[in-house]
Amino acid sequence: MTWSKLLLALFIITFTVATAAFAGSGDRIYGKITTVDGDVFEGLIRWDKNEGNWVDVLNGNKELSKRNLKKSSKSARKKYRDRDVSINILGLKVGGSSSGWSSWSSEAQSGMRFGHIKALEVIGDDEVLVILKSGEDVELSGGSTDIGDGIREIVIEDDREGEIELVWDDIEMVEFMDTPGDLKSSLGERLFGTLTTRRGDEYTGYVCWDVDELFTKDILDGDYKGRRRKIKFGKIDTISRYSSSGAEVIFTNGDEMVLRGTNDVDDSNSGITISDPGFGQVTVKWDEFDELKFHDPTVVARYSDFDGGRPLSGTVFTEDGDSYTGSIRWDNDEEYTWEILDGEFRDMEFDVEFGLIKSIEKKSYRAVTVTVWDGRSFALRGSNDVNEDNKGIFITMSDDDEVEIDWDEFERVEFKK
């Protein structure tokens, strides 16, 4: 065999192995659903239209414990100062000072990626008990269409009975498990690609278009030359922002067209979400969107890649030079690695998993820089996770003393991996 033929043979073998690895990746949500009538279905699951893979996020609200609703009595160092929220009108004082704690809601926005979940047990019209792989459990309610009667659909591809659509009231329990690698989905393959913003930033991962199109057999629709076109995503190579009211579509066969007239292809689009296993997910609004090029997965997130979470820990540094090491409760709310830090940047919304964060550094009262373990950094603002509305960073040290750091004095945190 000549040297050139040997190289060609090695390339073919390598390509075949890589392709087979992705084809049997097992990155789709898979499990067993038991209904209130006692029926049991098992297969690939599409949840609320826009979640289909282990990297996708189940959203809801969690009830805060009593310790989160007031300042800890064990706090070794009180850092919150009362804020004067009164105003003067014609010399009269209206309102009074408040620390902000009494006005808190008893719930907080929460969520976790499906890969961390062992089971879901429906416990109410708008409530679910989430049992994590770690053995911990958390109750979530409403807060999104992921939980409760407002859910758009739950589809399971049962081996025996085919594609079955269920509503919330049908479900008693969902048990998740490793995805068999040889399954074929009637919905097609999960969309994957690289999104480029108008400022040149790139994000690569699993794609959700307009909050409901996930798979190659899902439809992109729009008007072209006075006719409505319905195009399967599997036939599309690239979608580009043409204007506020249109998108240019390049097909895999090289054909091109500009579509208009629907929320799939104009500024009424609800956003393009990229789920990146390396940090979480980013949702890009139409005004910031430039181009999305679909391609084969460059990274795969399997069920076994998620651990169910563990307590957050690390070292918190203050602006006056102090540092405290121990277990961390961020914003007096998030205390596990499966939890999500929220923030915004321009017309993009970020959901970053705490377990993937290496450090958070305050840049101003209203902004931080978040660095993840793979080296990427994101400038974020726009939520109480990352601005002066943060309800406090609490550190429980080895001697069980709890220290409370106010946002005014917080400098940065370095998490333990």
226 lies in the same domain as 121 = no
CB burial readout 245-254, b (16+ within 10 A) else e: ebbbbbeeee
| Cβ 176 vs Cβ 30: under 8 Å | yes
Q: Residue 145 burial (CB < 10 Å; 0-12/13-18/19+)?
A: middle
Residues 374, 272: one domain?
no
* Helix H or strand E segment including 112: strand 107-113
What are the φ/ψ torsions at residue 356 (nearest 5 degrees)?
-100, 0
Q: Report whether 257 contacts 249 (CB < 8 A).
A: yes
Residue 5 within any structural domain of the chain = no
Residue at a domain's end among 143, 176, 209: 176
For residue 388, the enclosing domain spans 310-415
Q: How far apart are CA 281 and CA 58, in angstroms?
A: 12
Q: How far is CA 31 from the centre of its chain?
A: 20
pLDDT at residue 106 above 90?
A: no
The answer to whether residues 197 and 333 belong to one domain is no
What per-residue confidence (pLDDT) applies to 237? 98
Answer whether residue 155 is part of any domain: yes
Are 408 and 272 within one domain?
A: no
What CA–CA distance (Å, rounded) separates 165 from 155?
5
Q: Place 66 in a pLDDT band, splitting at 50, 70 and 90.
A: low
The percentage of residues in the chain with a pLDDT greater than 70, rounded to a whole number, is 84
Residue 397 lies in a domain: yes
Instruction: Please tell me whether residues 320 and 299 are part of one structural domain.
Output: no
Q: Work out the average pLDDT over 348-367.
A: 98
In a domain, 102, yes or no: no
* CB contact set of 327 (below 8 Å; sequence gap of 6+): 311, 312, 313, 335, 395, 396
Same domain, yes or no: 292 and 322: no
Give the per-residue pLDDT at 51: 97
- Is residue 82 in some structural domain? no
Does residue 367 surpass a pLDDT of 80?
A: yes
Question: What one-letter code names the amino acid at 66?
Answer: K
Looking only at Cα atoms, what is the longest distance across the chain?
96
Tell me the three-class secondary structure of 180-223, residue by residue.
Answer: CCCCCCCCCCECEEEEEECCCCEEEEEEEECCCECECCCEEEEE
Report residue 317's pLDDT band, with 50, 70 and 90 as the boundaries: very high
Q: Does 300 score more than 60 pLDDT?
A: yes
| Whether residues 242 and 298 fall in one domain | yes
Q: Which residue has the higher pLDDT, 19 or 42?
A: 42
Please indicate, yes or no, whether residues 276 and 364 belong to a single structural domain of this protein: no
How many of the other CB atoms lie within 10 Å of CB of 104?
A: 15
Average pLDDT over residues 36-50: 97
Among 1-15, 65-79, 127-141, the range scoring the smallest mean pLDDT is 1-15
Average pLDDT of the residues in 8-23: 38
Which whole number is the average pLDDT over 178-187?
92
Task: Tell me: do 147 and 35 sit in the same domain.
Answer: yes
Give yes or no for residue 363 having a pLDDT over 60: yes
* Helix, strand, coil content of the chain in percent (nearest 5): 10, 50, 40
- Residue 364: the pLDDT is 96
- Mean pLDDT over each residue of the chain, to the nearest integer: 88
pLDDT the model gives residue 25: 52
* pLDDT over 70 (residue 24): no
pLDDT score for 181: 85
pLDDT at 74: 37
* Spatial distance between the Cα atoms of 417 and 270, rounded to a whole number of angstroms: 34
Full DSSP string of 224-264: ETTEEEEEEGGGEEEEEEEETTEEEEEETTS-EEEEESSTT
The verdict on 219 and 264 lying in the same domain is yes
318 shares a domain with 289: no
Could you give the percent of the chain with pLDDT greater than 90? 80
For residue 16, give both structure tokens.
């075949």
pTM comes to: 0.86
- Integer Cα distance of 302 and 309 in angstroms: 15
Quick one: which of 69, 75, 64, 134 has its CA closest to 396? 75
Q: Is residue 137 part of a domain?
A: yes
d(CA 119, CA 29) in angstroms, rounded, equals 12
Maximum mean pLDDT: which of 81-90, 104-113, 384-393: 384-393
Q: What is the pLDDT of residues 76-102, one digit of tens each?
A: 444 333 434 344 444 444 444 334 433
- Residue where a domain terminates, one of 303, 319, 344: 303
Residue 187, in any domain of the structure? no
Q: How far apart are CA 183 and CA 165, in angstroms?
A: 19
328 with 392, same domain: the answer is yes
Task: Write out pLDDT tens, residues 150-173.
Answer: 999 999 999 999 999 999 999 999
* pLDDT 10s digits, 241-299: 999 999 999 999 999 999 999 999 999 999 999 999 999 999 999 999 999 999 999 99
DSSP readout, 113-182? EGGGEEEEEEEETTEEEEEETTS-EEEEE-SSTTSSTT---EEEEETTTEEEEE-GGGEEEEEE-PPPTT
Say if CB 221 and CB 266 are below 8 A apart.
no
Of 144, 176, 208, the residue that ends a domain is 176
Q: What domain count does the chain have?
A: 3
In a domain, 99, yes or no: no
pLDDT of residue 69: 53
What is the per-residue pLDDT for 68? 60
Tens of pLDDT, residues 187-216: 999 999 999 999 999 999 999 999 999 999
Q: Write down the pLDDT at residue 31.
A: 98
